Chains A and B, each alone.
Chain A
Amino acid sequence: MNQAPVFAVVGHPNKGKSSIVATLSQNDAIAIALEPGTTRRSHAYPLQVDGQVLYTLVDTPGFQRPRRVLEWLEAHSVSASDRAATVAAFATQHRGNLQFSDECELLAPLIDGAGIIYVVDGSVPYSPQHEAEMTILRWTGRPSLALINSIGDEDYGDTWQAALGQFFQIVRKFDAVRAPFEQHLSLLRAFGQLEPAWEKPLETATGFLDRQRQQRKQQAATLMAQTLQQMMGYRHSRSLAENLAASASSHNKGALASELRKSWYQHQRQREHQLRGDIQQLYQHRQLQRQEAELEWQSEHDLFSEDSSQLWGVNKGYLAGVGFGAGAVGGVGIDALTFGASFGTGALIGGIIGAAGSYFYGDRLPLPTLKIGPLRDGVKTASFGPVPDTQFGYVVLGRALSHWWHVSDRNHAGRAPLALGTPDSHWLDSLSKQHRNTLHRALEKARKGKAADLSDQHKLGQVITHAMKAYNEWQLKNM
C-alpha cells in the first residue's frame, strides 16, 4: 500500500512556515508570532478522510546553523550519491544535541521521505545568503517546491521567483493570510505534482476540501435560517398578577414595556451572538476575536442601532414592492428605493417613485409593542414581540451574511481581529427579483411561525443559500 505523502514546510526562521500550515490545515490555533523560534518542535497535521490519511503537512522550526550543518555534510560525503545518506547520518549523529535541535527536527521528516515545501518571504528583497540551507535541502534528494509567502506590504516576488527557479522544481506565490480558497486548492494540487504517486491523493483531498466548503455553506445557511426563524418569531412574555394587571396605570405600563423591551432586545442580541459563534466554529475559527464591539445597546454596531437599520434594512416601498411582486417597482432597483440614487427610468416616473422612496426612506426599524392579553385563570399575560414586519429579518439576515462572508473568506493564518466593514450599497441589489420575492415570503412565514417548523426552516435555508451567492457576488463587485 502506498504511504500518504508528507510535506515538510521548511525555511529560514520567521518566514511564515506556520502561517502556511495554519491556512492549509484550517487551524487557527497554531502559534504564529513575528518572533524567530516560535516553532520549536516539528508538528504533523494530517488530512484525514474517514480516518484515512490523504496527506500530512509538517510544520518545522527554521534553520539556525545551516553553514555548520553543510560543513559537516561536506566533510563526511565522498560523492554525490551518498548525500542523502550523509544528511540522515547527520541527524543520527546530532540527535539530542541542543545546538542542532532545530536542524534535526526539520530534517527528520525529509529523511523519512517527505517532500520539501521551502518558504521564503516575498515582501523582503532577495539575497543569495540562504544558499547553505538550500544546498542542504538539495542534498536530501527529496522533491521540492518553493513557496513565496508575503508577510509585509512590499513585493519582491518576481526576483525571488527567478532566483528560486534555479533550485526548486516548482515555485509558487501564496499569501497565507489573504489567498482565496481556490488558491489553497491550487497549491495543494501543485504539491501533488512533485511526484507522480502523490498526484492522486492530493487530487482526492482537494475534491473533499471543495465539497466540505460547499457543505459548510449549506450548514451556515441552515444555521442562519434557524436563527431568523427564532428571532423573528420570538415573543417575550410575563405573567401579571390580577391586582397588578388591574392597577396598571400608564406609568406602570411604561415601566413594564421598557422592562420587557430590554429583555427582548437582550435575547435577540444573544441569539445573534450565538449564531456568530456557531458560524465561526463551523469554519474552524475558534480563536477568532471580533472587532465588532460586544453587542450592547447604543453601540455603533448594535443590532438595533440606526446604523444597522440603514445598512441592512429595506424600506416600506421595497417591502410593498416585493410583497406584491410588483414588476414596475421592483425593476427600478432597490438601490434607488433605499438610497435615493439615480433611477435610470423616465424622469416623471422616477420623480414620483423618488418622492415615494424618500418618504419611505429613513423609517426607523419597526419594533414590537407591548400587548397585554385578556384575563385567563386569574392571570394576565404581558408580551413583547414578535416583530410587526419583515424589516427586522432583513437587518438580521444582512448582518449574518456580512459576518458569514468575512468568516468564510478568512484564512486561518490571520491573527488580526475580524473587521466587519460598512458597505456603501445594498447587497439585495445582487439578488434576482424572483429570489427577492421568495426570500420575502420565507421571512414573512418566519415572522408568523408560531413554532420552529423544520420544513419551513429548510425552505428558508435554501433561499439563504441564494442570498449568500448574491452577497458574495456583491462583495466581489465592491472589491
Chain B
Amino acid sequence: MVKQSAARPSMTKTPIIKQPLRLLMDFDAQIQRDGHQTSDFIHRRDRKFALHCEEHNSPSDPAHWLAWLGRFDNGSEQLAGTGQSTEQRWQRINSGFIALGAVLGIITMAGLLFYDGGQRINVTVIIGFVALQLLLALLTSLQSVMGWQPWRPLLNRFMPASDPALQPLQPALMARATQGGGLSFAVAALLTLLAMVVTQDLAFGWSTTLNTAASGYHQLTSALATPWTWLWPSAVPDPALVEATRFFRAGTNTALTPARWGQWWPFVSMLWLMWVVLPRLLLRLLASALVRLRTRKLLLCHPGLRALRERMATSVLDTGAGHNDADDLPDTRHNTLLQPLPEKAQLLSWAGAGSVTEEQTLPAALAAICPGQALNVGGLASLSQDQQAIAQLAVSSDAVTAIMLVRSWEPPTGELLDFLDSARHNWPANSRVFLLPLAAETRNPSNTAKDRQLQPWLRFAERCPPGFVTVGDITVNTGLPQS
C-alpha cells in the first residue's frame, strides 16, 4: 500500500464534468493542446484509457476521458479550464442581462402606470406594449434558431473573439441570455404592477382614436383573457366595465363611480403574466434546451472525438524502435597504405580466395612472384590443415614472406586473426604477410584505395602486430591498371 501511494503521490479523483457547455469547451481545449503533442504519445495515452475503461467496465465518454487526463492535476480549482471560464463568462453575461432586465422592467412598468390623477392609464397602450414584448421574445428565439446574429459586430467590440468551437453556439447562448433578461424584465414589471396596485389608486380606462365600439373592444379583451377565463373569471372585463371605462381626451366621464376605474387591474396583471411572463419563461426554457442540444451535437460531431475514438480503438504498436545505437559506430579511420608486393613470396589462399571458378586464373604477374602452389587455409580447410601450412612455411626459409589471397567482400574475422597470430609465433622474426584482397567480379586484385571493400582490410592490418601484416598493392610490381 505504501509503495502504491508513493508511486502515485499526486493522483486525485477528478470530478466528472456534467455541464455540456463546459464539457465541450474543455474537450475542445484538450484537443487543441493535443495538437502540440506527438501522435505517438496521444495514441498511447488514449489507448491506455480505453484499456482501463475496458478493464474496469467504466464509460469511455469525453467526460470520463477528461477526468482521466486531469487525474494528476492537483488543485484543479486554481487551474480553471477553458470550459469553466467560458461558463463563468456566460454566467456573467446572463446575470448582466437579468439585472438590466429587472431595472428596465421596474422603470418601464412605472412609466406605463404613471398616473397623475388627471387622466386614465390607457389599457390599449398596455395591450400594445404586451404585443411588442411578445413579438420581441419570438424574434429573439427565431434569430437564434436561424443563426442570425445582427448584434454580433456590437458584441465584438466588448468581448474578446470567442473560441472557434463556441462560434456555432453563439446565437443560442445569446438567445438564452436575452430571454433570461426578458424574463427578468417581465417579472420585475409584474411585481412593480402589483406593488403599484397595492400602494396607489390606479385609474385604468381605455381609449383609442379609432372608431371602435365598446363591444369590439370587449371582444378583444375577452379573446386576450381566454387562457385564464376558467381560472380567474373576475380578471376578464365584462361588457359593462368596457362600456363604462372608455375615456376621451377631449371629454370627461363623470357618470362612473371612481371605483370602476380600478377594476381593470386583474385583467392587466393577468395579461402581463400570461402574454409576457409566461412566453418569456417558456422561451427561456426552450433556449436553455437548445443550448444543451446544440452543445451535445457539437461534441458528438467534433472531429477530435472521432479521432479520439479511433485512437482508443486502435492498439498501440511498438516495433522496438526505441533502441538507439546509431552513434555507436566503429572507428573507420586508418593510416595504413597499400604496400608494394615482394619480389618472391609463398602463396596462401584464405577461405578459397583465388579459386572462384575453374575458368579463371590468377594474374600472370602473381604467378611470377609466387611460383609455388597456393596453400589452402581457412574456410573449408580444417584447423589442423592451417597448422600444417604454418609449419610447412616455417621450415622452408629463415624469414617467411607470404602473400595471402583473401576475398575482399568477406571481411576479416577472428579466425584469420588467430591464423596470423599463430604464424607470427611459429615463423622466424622478420617474417611478413601481404594480404591481397581479390575483387568479386573479375578475381583481379581489388587494390585501389577507393574501393570500400578494401577499407576493412587496411584497418585489420593496422590492428595486427606492427610490421607483420600489410595489405599488398599488386599494381606497383605488375603495372596492372588501377580500376
Residues of A whose CB lies within 8 Å of any CB of B are: 12-14, 24-31, 33-38, 43-51, 56-57, 62-68, 71, 99, 102, 121, 124-125, 127-129, 131, 152, 154, 208-209, 211-212, 215, 219, 222, 226, 281-282, 284, 287, 412, 451-455, 457-458
Contact = CB atoms under 8 A, between A and B. Distances in A.
Contacts of A33: 329-330, 332
Contacts of A37: 330
Nearest to A461: B303
B303 A45 contact: no
Given A34-B452, A36-B411, A284 B321 contact: yes
A304 B332 CA distance: 41
Given A49-B317, A154-B440, A29 B324 contact: yes
B228 to A, nearest CB: 48
Interface residues of B, number: 56
Which 9 residue pairs are nearest across A and B when measured between Cβ atoms?
A45-B320, A64-B414, A129-B379, A36-B411, A29-B324, A27-B321, A454-B303, A48-B318, A124-B409
B116 interface: no
Instruction: Indicate the member of B39, B320, B415, B440 with the most A CB atoms within 10 Å.
Output: B320
A49 B415 contact: no
Nearest to A59: B323
B382 interface: yes
B410 A12 contact: yes
Contacts of B310: 215
A348 B356 CA distance: 67
Given A50-B316, A453-B164, A125 B440 contact: yes
Given A64-B413, A68-B383, A209-B319, 15 more contacts: A12-B410, A29-B324, A31-B328, A33-B329, A48-B320, A49-B317, A51-B316, A67-B378, A102-B414, A129-B352, A208-B315, A215-B314, A281-B38, A281-B40, A287-B326
B317 A66 contact: no
B412 interface: yes
B302 interface: yes
Most B-side CB within 10 Å, residue of A46, A129, A226:
A129
A226 B31 CA distance: 14
Contacts of A50: 47, 51, 315-316
A97 B27 CA distance: 60
B70 interface: no
B198 interface: no
A55 B434 CA distance: 46
Contacts of A121: 409
Contacts of A46: 318, 320
A57 B321 CA distance: 12
Interface string B349-387: 001100010000000000000000000001110110000
A131 B380 CA distance: 7
Interface string B330-361: 10100000000000000000011000100000
B351 A129 contact: yes
A417 B410 CA distance: 27
A211 B352 contact: no
A13 B411 contact: yes
A24 B328 CA distance: 20
A222 B311 CA distance: 14
Nearest to B409: A124
A370 B319 CA distance: 50
Nearest to A25: B320
Given A36-B413, A65-B413, A121-B409, A212 B320 contact: no
B456 interface: yes
A44 B320 CA distance: 8
A215 B326 CA distance: 27
B446 to A, nearest CB: 12
A49 B51 CA distance: 12
B184 to A, nearest CB: 34
Contacts of A31: 325-329
A452 B409 CA distance: 57
B307 to A, nearest CB: 8
A452 B164 contact: yes
27 contacts: A13-B413, A27-B321, A27-B324, A29-B325, A30-B323, A31-B326, A35-B411, A35-B455, A37-B330, A44-B320, A49-B315, A49-B317, A49-B318, A50-B316, A51-B316, A57-B320, A64-B413, A65-B415, A127-B379, A128-B380, A129-B351, A129-B352, A129-B378, A129-B379, A129-B410, A152-B409, A457-B303
A26 B321 contact: yes
A318 B179 CA distance: 52
A67 B382 contact: yes
B304 interface: yes
B367 to A, nearest CB: 22
A125 B356 contact: yes
B441 interface: yes
Contacts of B415: 64-68
Contacts of B378: 67, 129
Contacts of A62: 413
B166 to A, nearest CB: 11
A444 to B, nearest CB: 19
A99 B410 CA distance: 20
B297 interface: no
Nearest to B330: A35
A375 B39 CA distance: 44
Contacts of B455: 34-35
B306 A458 contact: yes
B418 interface: yes
Interface string B290-318: 00000000000111101100100011111
Interface string B123-139: 00000000000000000
A29 B315 contact: no
A4 to B, nearest CB: 12
Nearest to A126: B356
Nearest to A47: B319
Contacts of B440: 124-125, 154
A287 B47 CA distance: 27
Nearest to A454: B303
A66 B422 CA distance: 17
Nearest to B164: A451
Nearest to B39: A219
Nearest to B413: A64
B205 to A, nearest CB: 54
Given A25-B320, A30-B323, A67-B383, A36 B412 contact: yes
Max chain A Cβ within 10 angstroms of own Cβ: one of B31, B47, B412: B412
Contact of B302 (A67, A226, A287, A454): A454
Interface string B22-39: 000000000100010011
A56 B318 CA distance: 11
Contacts of B316: 48-51
Given A36-B412, A65-B413, A124-B440, A30 B315 contact: no
Contact of A211 (B164, B314, B320, B383): B314
B456 A36 contact: yes
B83 to A, nearest CB: 17
Interface in B20-66: 31, 35, 38-40, 47, 51
Given A13-B411, A127-B352, A212 B317 contact: yes
A62 B456 CA distance: 15
A20 B330 CA distance: 19
A207 B303 CA distance: 26
A14 to B, nearest CB: 5
A35 B383 contact: no
A421 B111 CA distance: 81
Contact of B326 (A29, A57, A284): A29
Nearest to B165: A454
Given A35-B456, A37-B330, A128-B380, A47 B413 contact: no
Interface-centre pick from B318, B324, B356, B455 (highest chain A CB count, 10 A): B318
A284 B317 CA distance: 12
A355 to B, nearest CB: 45
B456 A71 contact: no
A51 B314 CA distance: 13
Contact of B414 (A51, A99, A131): A99
